[in-house]
Structure 1
């Protein structure tokens, strides 16, 4: 049967074109010619369909609605994250070559190149709704590494997040007041903490009359809202041409009459344009940013702004004027992904910091009076 699989694999590779279930079945029939047993044919067809269609052995994991990430670190080391952190699965590949073939095929589906000359790829599998990252050896010293992030359409509004335990009742009420008051918001947290899920829910709670313009590296934001324009950055092609960076899209979004400008995640110089936009009358804007706590936000934003040529003092002034609220998401071992803290930005004597206005465990904090004032100034009654 191994010989049959190799012959069919070679036929498919030589034939070129799109490899789907029908093409795999036709190649198996052509190579057997009625000589192989039915069991051999069925076994070969099963093996090859896994290899050449979908995500191969990873398909079942990706189809599970609980899955957020599938990670391959070795042929016998496939991990899955379903909200409680990565855990090892029983899924395996035949060998390192099989992992490499899958990575290269997924890269082709994403319209990217993955080989010894281009040993890593970051792409988007639009049909599956999956973000792909893969690295080949020797850059990945332990063998081909594949990381798949499942980006599902937003099915969670704020009420659903409360029912799931991500929000408690006071947290939900506070978020609804922040949205109604059009306070500009940063959603912070680590990888997989639920930042995008929360931002989707917040956008779904905005006034249906608002025009939302979202700008992202990968199309993750799909809020339940009647008026959304989504802009997605494009990497350069193999020749290094045709790229559309996030920073340029932020500039373009300003010309599209947004009521709320939203950046999926700030990772670099685009933070300068985003803050400039929020300081020109675009209230209620939002973005996500990687940070392990609200107190890290000023330093994190200074580092990103430095990539765009903005100094720390200028960044502090822009940030203090543009953003009012920071929401900290955290993944807890006992509760999963939760809204852990709501902070407010305060600038005293040139010192920019984030004060806790509310925490999940302790309720109102030292920044609560300032948040209450901000809500009342916008005509919104504080919930507590």
Structure 2
């Protein structure tokens, strides 16, 4: 009897080993600010990737005759260029060939060189136009660029809000500066007067002096190129100084964190532009939001759906290429049109989306509330 048990166990072990041999592990990297003032965005994006990986592994896909098991490797780039390059190198050294991120333009610009040199495919929401002008073939932007985010906020301000005089503040990051310049350019083309352009940093929390300066110019709106941890206190200080101007911004202030940090100072006086259509009206948007809430016990924020889509897009391109080799998967991404939760992904020669709708939001009860998409 013992011999039969041993033979049976050996047979089972042989089957298990054979099954394991038919499974290929593919690491999906994530780079984002998992610590510091922007950690709410980094963790939200990471969860978008995690949800996609869990769903892919629940219904394993097959590539080149082998089941694929996806694993997440997430690195904290702190929203800092130097830390971002270190995070990129860590992912590269770990053998990661597909990365969702980085989130920040200032991180993506230097890190993308390291990824490109290592043959890594990356999908980023970072919006500075320079990112896709570097000529990197395996770099894809899964979101609107600053050109679209800044210009459409300006168009909305001119055409729908009928504003005549505005001012600009930017935080001097690659993202904030690029976004502010695009807003300013379109504002002037739309006939608005840009009465002032002030500068701060992404570490500042006191904007009293520059707001006091702008108050004397009687502007109807202030466009802020920067992030929610600065945008929220800026809204509070505008209220304290009796500045009745609207506060406008891009996607990084289109977040529940803006309402959380700003309290009653963030309401219909704040408007922002975000890449993508209105998620609640997208075909698969409500179902995605429900699954995300059930899994993480919190609502999906600005770009969770985009990071989810990027991961699913990687998987579809692997199937299309019948390979997990990034040298084959990258061209497959360029050639396919992937229908995701947050949008339809088809790319031009630079790696920018051929069509990326922009949605204008305001705030109700501390939460972003969509107004219109165009």
Return the structure number with greater relative CO, CA threshold 8 A, min gap 6: 2
Higher gyration radius (CA): 1
Higher helix fraction (1 or 2): 2
TM category (shorter chain) comes to 0.3 to 0.5
